[in-house]
C-alpha cells in the first residue's frame, strides 16, 4: 500500500475509528444500493407562471394521485380519492374549508381520525424508497416523534392498537390535528419527488418569477439548466447594460414592470420620466403592451409603451456597439440604425428597402446612430446601479449560479434548454470565443465558464468578457440556449413586412429526429451504453399542428409546451412535464390551468394526458444512479480501511 493511500485511510479512520463502525457503514451503504431509484421530476419554461408551477409541484405531475391509487385502489371511491389528493396538494387551504363543513355535520373528530390514518398510510408508502435515517432527517421537528411512531406502528397488532390509537386521540385532544395533517401533506410531497430538474426559463412573460424562485430556494433537492431568459436576468444582475435593456423592454411589453419595482426594488421613475419627456407622441400601436391575464390597468398603457420604446432604442444602440466590438460573433446584421435613410423614412436590409413604421427617433443622431445621448447614459448608469444593489435579485441570481449550469448529465440523461449547435451536415458547429474555436460540449463549457466570470470575477478584463458573453448567450447567432440565427426584435417593431421577422432555427431542430445525430450528441457528452435520453426545453411543441414532444423514437424529449399564457393560444396546451422513477419514464401533457382558487374550491384535479410511458427493461436501483456510483466508491474505500485495520496498518480506537 502506498504512503498516499495509507495517509488517506488514516483520515478516513477519524470518521470510522474501529472495525465495528467501518463494517456497520459498509453494510448500511450496500443496503442503500439495493433500494429503488428515487423519483425525478422534470419541468421547463415556467416563464413566471407561478400558479401553474405551484399546481404541478403540489401534485408531482400526477405522482401523488398515482400513489393514492396504489394504496387504496377500489377500497376508496373516486370522490374520496380526489378529495384526499387535493388535501395533500393544498392543505393550508383545504383544511379550514373541510373543517368548517364537517364541524357543521358534527363529524369533525371522525374526519381527523380517518384523515390522519389515510395520510399516514400514503406517507409510509411514499417513504419506503428511503432509509430510516433519511426519513428521520426529513421529518418536521415539531412532529418528528409523532409521525415516526405513526409510520412505524402496527395498529392491526393487538399489542400496539391501544398505543397507536392513543397517539391520534392525544393529538386531537391537544388541538394539533390540523397542524399534523398539514405537516403530513408536506411530507408526502417531499417523499414522492426525490429530485427536481428545471430545464430553464423561469423568467420573463409571466408575472411571478420571483415567487417561483422563492419556492425553488426552499425545495429539498433541485438543479437548474439555464434558459436564455434566465441568462438575460443573470446578465442584468451582473451589470450588463444590454441585458438590462432587453429585460426591461420585455417586462414593459408583457405588463410586468411591477415585478421589478415591487419584488426587486428597482427604481424605474428615472426611466418613466425620460420616456415621457423624450417620446411625446403616442407609442401604443407599435410598442403595444401585451396583457395575457387581463389584470393590467389600461390607464398605464401609454406610459409603459413610451418606456418600452425608450429602453428599446437604447438597446438597439448598445447592440450596434456590441456587435462591432465583437466581429467574430458574426452578428453585424443586428446593427441596423445605420441602415436607416432618415430622410426617406426607409431601412435597407439584405438589399431591400422597407418603409419604417415609426420615424419618431429623437435620440438618434443619423451621423452617429449608436451613440447614447447624455441623458441615456445617465439613465443606464442609474439602472445598472439599481440592479447591482437589488438584494433580492442578487439573492435569486446567486441561487441560479449555485444550482444551475448550461447543461447537466444526471443518471444517464442529458439535460439542456436549447440545442447543441450543428451545421447542416450534422457536424458540430465551431464558434470563436476570444480567439479560440469551440464546438459541442466544449462550447457549452467555455460559455458557462465566462458566464460565471461575468458574475463573480474580480479581474475587470475577465469580468467584462464574461458580461459581454452573457448577452451573447442570450441571443447570439450560435448560442446553445438561443438556437436561432438572429433575434429580429427591431424588425418586429419597425417593419410591417413579416418576411423580415423570420428567425431561422439552428439545423439541430431539423436533424434531431435522426438517430445518428442524437447518438453523436450522446457520444460528445460521454453518454454511451444504457438507455440515455436528451431532455430538452426552449421551443414550444405546437400541439395544434400535430407536433409531438417525442423525438427520435423517444431518445429526445422536448418538454416545453407552453406554461406561459403568452404561448398557449399558439401551442394548444400548457406544457409537458416528465417523471422518471425506478420503473421508467412518464411524459404528461397539461391543460391550461385557470386559477389555484378554482382548482381548490371545485376540487379540479390535474387532468394530464399521459403522452408516453417508457418502461425500463429492469427496475432501476440506487446502484444504477450517479449517487449509487458515489456510494460504491465510498464502499470500496471503506473495504480498504477494513483491510488496513485487520492487517495492523492502522490501529483501532
Residue where a domain stops, chosen among 494, 514, 545: 494
Residues 443, 428: Cα–Cα separation, whole Å:
10
Give a yes or no: residue 570 inside a domain: no
Residues 172, 153: Cα–Cα separation, whole Å:
18
Give a yes or no: residue 49 inside a domain: no
pLDDT in tens, 598-645: 666 666 655 566 777 788 878 999 999 999 999 999 999 999 999 999
The answer to whether residues 235 and 352 belong to one domain is yes
Model pLDDT, residue 327: 95
pLDDT at 595 over 70: no
pLDDT at 104 over 90: no
Q: Give the confidence band of 569 by pLDDT, cuts at 50, 70, 90.
A: low
Give a yes or no: residue 520 inside a domain: no
Q: Are strands 413-416 and 534-536 parallel, antiparallel or unpaired?
A: parallel
3-state secondary structure of 351: coil
Residues near 352 by Cβ (< 8 Å), separated by ≥ 6? Answer: none
Residue where a domain stops, chosen among 469, 494, 519: 494
Q: Which residue has the higher pLDDT, 428 or 62?
A: 428
Percent of the chain predicted with pLDDT > 70: 94
The answer to whether residues 110 and 215 belong to one domain is no
The answer to whether residues 145 and 279 belong to one domain is no
The answer to whether residues 177 and 213 belong to one domain is no
The answer to whether residues 275 and 234 belong to one domain is yes
Crossing angle of helices 241-253 and 460-475, in 10° steps, is: 30
Helix, strand, coil percentages (3-state) for the chain, rounded to 5, are 55, 10, 35
The answer to whether residues 407 and 295 belong to one domain is yes
Residues near 194 by Cβ (< 8 Å), separated by ≥ 6? Answer: 38, 39, 40, 129, 221
Crossing angle of helices 50-59 and 78-89, in 10° steps, is: 120
- Backbone dihedral region of 45: left (phi > 0), alpha (psi from -120 to 50 degrees) or beta? left
Q: Give the confidence band of 61 by pLDDT, cuts at 50, 70, 90.
A: confident
The answer to whether residues 282 and 352 belong to one domain is yes
The answer to whether residues 357 and 482 belong to one domain is yes
pLDDT at 298 over 90: no
Q: Give the confidence band of 504 by pLDDT, cuts at 50, 70, 90.
A: very high
Furthest C-alpha separation in the chain: 95
On the CB side of 587, CA atoms within 13 Å amount to 22
CB 201 within 8 A of CB 230: yes
pLDDT in tens, 12-50: 999 999 999 999 999 999 999 999 999 999 999 999 999
Model pLDDT, residue 369: 97
Is pTM beyond 0.75? Reply is yes
Q: What cell was used for 26? A: 459498509
The answer to whether residues 79 and 220 belong to one domain is no
Q: What cell was used for 260? A: 421589478
Q: What cell was used for 506? A: 439552428
- Residue 512 DSSP code: T
Phi, psi of 556 (to 5 degrees): -125, 130
Q: What cell was used for 321? A: 456597439
Give a yes or no: residue 277 inside a domain: yes
Percent of the chain predicted with pLDDT > 90: 76
Phi, psi of 279 (to 5 degrees): -115, 90
Q: What cell was used for 500? A: 423580415
Residues 450, 302: Cα–Cα separation, whole Å:
39
3-class secondary structure per residue, 278-313: HCCCCCCCCCCCCCCCCCCCHHHHHHHHHHHHHHHH
Q: Give the confidence band of 199 by pLDDT, cuts at 50, 70, 90.
A: very high
Q: Are strands 584-589 and 609-615 parallel, antiparallel or unpaired?
A: antiparallel
CB 214 within 8 A of CB 392: no
Q: Which of 103-117, 199-213, 273-287 has the lowest mean pLDDT?
A: 103-117
Residues 186, 184: Cα–Cα separation, whole Å:
5
- Enclosing domain of residue 142: 62-192
Say how many Å lie between the first and final Cα of the chain, rounded: 21
Residue where a domain stops, chosen among 464, 494, 524: 494
The answer to whether residues 351 and 427 belong to one domain is yes
| Average model confidence (pLDDT) across the chain | 91
Identify how many contiguous H helices and E strands the chain contains and give both numbers. Answer: 27, 17
Residue 67: closest CA among 215, 223, 198, 187? 187
Domain count, the chain: 2
pLDDT at 571 over 70: no
Residues 136, 257: Cα–Cα separation, whole Å:
44
The answer to whether residues 386 and 258 belong to one domain is yes
pLDDT in tens, 407-419: 999 999 999 999 9
Amino acid at each position: 500500500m502506498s504512503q498516499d493511500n495509507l495517509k488517506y485511510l488514516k483520515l478516513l479512520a477519524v470518521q470510522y475509528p474501529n472495525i465495528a463502525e467501518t463494517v456497520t457503514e459498509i453494510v448500511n451503504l450496500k443496503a442503500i444500493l439495493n433500494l429503488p431509484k428515487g423519483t425525478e421530476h422534470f419541468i421547463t419554461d415556467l416563464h413566471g407562471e407561478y400558479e401553474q408551477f405551484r399546481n404541478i409541484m403540489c401534485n408531482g405531475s400526477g405522482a401523488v394521485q398515482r400513489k393514492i391509487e396504489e394504496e387504496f385502489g377500489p377500497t376508496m371511491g373516486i370522490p374520496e380519492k380526489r378529495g384526499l389528493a387535493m388535501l395533500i396538494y393544498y392543505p393550508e387551504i383545504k383544511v379550514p374549508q373541510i373543517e368548517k363543513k364537517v364541524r357543521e355535520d358534527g363529524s369533525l373528530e371522525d374526519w381527523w381520525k380517518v384523515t390522519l390514518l389515510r395520510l399516514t398510510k400514503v406517507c409510509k408508502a411514499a417513504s419506503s424508497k428511503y432509509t430510516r435515517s433519511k426519513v428521520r432527517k426529513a421529518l418536521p421537528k415539531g412532529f418528528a416523534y409523532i409521525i415516526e411512531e405513526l409510520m412505524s406502528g402496527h395498529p392491526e397488532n393487538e399489542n400496539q392498537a391501544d398505543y397507536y390509537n392513543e397517539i391520534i386521540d392525544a393529538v386531537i385532544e391537544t388541538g394539533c390535528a390540523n397542524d399534523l395533517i398539514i405537516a403530513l401533506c408536506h411530507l408526502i410531497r417531499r417523499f414522492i419527488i426525490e429530485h427536481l430538474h428545471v430545464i430553464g426559463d423561469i423568467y420573463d412573460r409571466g408575472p411571478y418569477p420571483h415567487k417561483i424562485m422563492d419556492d425553488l430556494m426552499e425545495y429539498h433537492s433541485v438543479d437548474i439548466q439555464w434558459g436564455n431568459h434566465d441568462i438575460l436576468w443573470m446578465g442584468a444582475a451582473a451589470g450588463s447594460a444590454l441585458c438590462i435593456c432587453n429585460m426591461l423592454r420585455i417586462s414593459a411589453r408583457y405588463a410586468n414592470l411591477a415585478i421589478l419595482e415591487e419584488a426587486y426594488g428597482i427604481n424605474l421613475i428615472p426611466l418613466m420620466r425620460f420616456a415621457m419627456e423624450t417620446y411625446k407622441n403616442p407609442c401604443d400601436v407599435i410598442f403595444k403592451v401585451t396583457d395575457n391575464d387581463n389584470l393590467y390597468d389600461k390607464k398605464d398603457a401609454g406610459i409603459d409603451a413610451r418606456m418600452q420604446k425608450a429602453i428599446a432604442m437604447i438597446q438597439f444602440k448598445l447592440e450596434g456597439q456590441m456587435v462591432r466590438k465583437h466581429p467574430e460573433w458574426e452578428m453585424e446584421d443586428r446593427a441596423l440604425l445605420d441602415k436607416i435613410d432618415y430622410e426617406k423614412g426607409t431601412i435597407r436590409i439584405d438589399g431591400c428597402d422597407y418603409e419604417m413604421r415609426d420615424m419618431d427617433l429623437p435620440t438618434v443622431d443619423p451621423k452617429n446612430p449608436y451613440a447614447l445621448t447624455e441623458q441615456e447614459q445617465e439613465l443606464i448608469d442609474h439602472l445598472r446601479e439599481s440592479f447591482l444593489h437589488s438584494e433580492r435579485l442578487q439573492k435569486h441570481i446567486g441561487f441560479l449560479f449555485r444550482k444551475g449550469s448550461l447543461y447537466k448529465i444526471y443518471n444517464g440523461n442529458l439535460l439542456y434548454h436549447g440545442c447543441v449547435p450543428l451545421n447542416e451536415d450534422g457536424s458540430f458547429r465551431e464558434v470563436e470565443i476570444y480567439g479560440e474555436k469551440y464546438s459541442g460540449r466544449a462550447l457549452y463549457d467555455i460559455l458557462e465558464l465566462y458566464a460565471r466570470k461575468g458574475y463573480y470575477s474580480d479581474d475587470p478584463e475577465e469580468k467584462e468578457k464574461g458580461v459581454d458573453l452573457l448577452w451573447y448567450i442570450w441571443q447570439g447567432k450560435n448560442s446553445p440556449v438561443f438556437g436561432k440565427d438572429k433575434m429580429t426584435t427591431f424588425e418586429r417593431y419597425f417593419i410591417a413586412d413579416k418576411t423580415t421577422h423570420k428567425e431561422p432555427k439552428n439545423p439541430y431542430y431539423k436533424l434531431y429526429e435522426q438517430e445518428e445525430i442524437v447518438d453523436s450528441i450522446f457520444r460528445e457528452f460521454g453518454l454511451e451504453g444504457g438507455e440515455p435520453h436528451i431532455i430538452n426545453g426552449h421551443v414550444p411543441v405546437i400541439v395544434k399542428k400535430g407536433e409531438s414532444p417525442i423525438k427520435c423514437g423517444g431518445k429526445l424529449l422536448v418538454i416545453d409546451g407552453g406554461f406561459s399564457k403568452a404561448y398557449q393560444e399558439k401551442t394548444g396546451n400548457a406544457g409537458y412535464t416528465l417523471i422518471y422513477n425506478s420503473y421508467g419514464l412518464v411524459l404528461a401533457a397539461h391543460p391550461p390551468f385557470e386559477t389555484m382558487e378554482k382548482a381548490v374550491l371545485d376540487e379540479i384535479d390535474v387532468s394530464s394526458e399521459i403522452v408516453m410511458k417508457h418502461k425500463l427493461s429492469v427496475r432501476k436501483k440506487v446502484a444504477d444512479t450517479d449517487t449509487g456510483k458515489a456510494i460504491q466508491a465510498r464502499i470500496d474505500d471503506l473495504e480498504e480501511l477494513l483491510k488496513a485495520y485487520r492487517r495492523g496498518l492502522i490501529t483501532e480506537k
